[in-house]
């Protein structure tokens, strides 16, 4: 399915990065990963030792990460940032700026760094990880929702921009999926908290990160070559 494809996953220690890396590797991909924490040499070495099947990149700037990765067939912008609860009239504008930097500027810059080589080959795929929250908003979480909506906007516009270069751009928009950033194990271990969470989900359960990884694998593979400009919710029906 993904045999021989070179895939770069950003922010690998966050969101669905680790599970997706393992899943894509199992499907035959060559997986390179980066993460802000890898700027620390000991952290990078420890991750690489624990995960020898991936190529861990310690560079920080997008252009340097891309140069170190070499040929990139698929970029997965696996961006994450805390969903800060704050009414608009009480919110700290700096939190908004930081969220936009992490969830909008970062994938924008990374996509720009990888596009020249994809255009040269006339082939490539870029996948944005966003959020289903944009489909109907979340009271008191406007900073987070706005940033995710902006990333979706980039994906939709970029898909039209590079379609002539045979580059497909799509966004996967999860919510209520088990992951260390938004639904950590200690939260899910609280039975009352878990019941409160899942009552909002028509399917009555949280999603598994492997289910998101499978969706990423589909959009990374050749089977999706005619699909571009999609924003795909994955939230157990909550987004309807």
Active site residues: 144
Of the candidates 85, 81, 77, 112, the one whose C-alpha atom is nearest the C-alpha of residue 97 is 81
Q: How many CB atoms lie within 10 A of CB 1?
A: 14
Helix, strand, coil % over all residues of the chain, rounded to 5: 50, 15, 35
Enter the tokens of residue 80: 């994450």
Q: Rounded distance, CA 22 to CA 214, Å?
A: 11
Tell me the backbone φ, ψ of residue 210, rounded to 5 degrees.
Answer: -65, -30
Q: Rounded distance, CA 80 to CA 74, Å?
A: 19
Assess contact for 76 and 220: CB atoms under 8 A.
Answer: yes
Enter the tokens of residue 169: 């751009």
Q: Rounded distance, CA 44 to CA 19, Å?
A: 18
Enter the tokens of residue 2: 């993904």
């Amino acid at each position: 399915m993904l045999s021989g494809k070179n895939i770069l996953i950003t922010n690998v220690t966050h969101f669905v990065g680790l599970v997706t890396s393992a899943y894509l590797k199992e499907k035959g991909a060559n997986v390179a990963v980066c993460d802000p924490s890898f700027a620390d040499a000991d952290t990078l070495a420890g991750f690489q030792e624990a995960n020898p099947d991936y190529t861990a990149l310690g560079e920080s700037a997008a252009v340097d990460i891309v140069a170190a990765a070499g040929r990139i067939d698929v970029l997965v912008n696996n961006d994450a940032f805390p969903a800060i609860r704050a009414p608009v009239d009480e919110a700290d504008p700096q939190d908004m700026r930081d969220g936009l930097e992490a969830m909008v500027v970062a994938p924008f810059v990374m996509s720009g760094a990888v596009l020249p080589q994809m255009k040269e080959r006339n082939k490539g795929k870029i996948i944005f990880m966003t959020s289903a929250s944009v489909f109907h908003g979340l009271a008191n979480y406007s900073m987070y929702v706005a940033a995710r909506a902006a990333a979706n906007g980039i994906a939709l516009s970029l898909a039209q921009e590079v379609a002539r270069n045979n580059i497909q751009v799509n966004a996967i928009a999860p919510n209520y999926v088990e992951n260390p950033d938004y639904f950590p194990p200690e939260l899910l271990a609280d039975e009352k908290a878990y019941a409160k969470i899942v009552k909002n989900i028509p399917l009555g359960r949280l999603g598994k990160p492997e289910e998101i990884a499978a969706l990423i694998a589909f959009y990374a593979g050749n089977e999706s070559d005619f699909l571009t400009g999609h924003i795909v919710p994955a939230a157990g029906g909550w987004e309807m």
